[in-house]
Amino acid sequence: MPLYLTRFSYTPEAWARLIQNPEDRREAASRYIETVGGKLHGFWYAFGEHDGYTLWEAPDNVSMAATAIAIGAGGALASMQTTVLLTVEETLSALEKASSVKYVPPGREPKGGYS
C-alpha cells in the first residue's frame, strides 16, 4: 500500500482546546485512516512551519484523499498538505520510464511540429 506524509498546522482555537483538554491525537488519527483500510505509522509534533507530521499507509489515493478531506472539513486545521511517497523501487521504475519521454524545453520545439 502507498505511504503518505502529511504536514499540518492547527488553528489557534484548536490549540486552545488542546490546552484546556490535552489528548493524544494519534488515537483519533488511527481511527480515521483505519476507516478506509489504512494504517497510521507515525505522528509527530514539530517546531517550525508546520505543527505536526503524520505518516500514513492507505490502499489508494482516493482513500487517502477521503481521509484528508474529512479531517480538513473538521475545522481544526489551519493548513494540511499530503504528499504521496514513492519507494526506491518505484523511483527506479520511473527513472527507467523517463527515458521514453522525449521532453523538449519551451522554445526548442522542432520546426514543423512533432511526428
**Model confidence pLDDT, tens digit, residues 34-87:** 999 999 999 999 999 999 999 999 999 999 999 999 999 999 999 999 999 999
CA distances from 73 to 11, 69, 78 (A): 13, 6, 11
Count the alpha carbons within 13 Å of 90 in the hemisphere toward its beta carbon: 7
CATH of the domain spanning 3-87 = 3.30.70.260
- The pTM of this model reads 0.84
- Across the strands, what pairs with 4? 56, 84
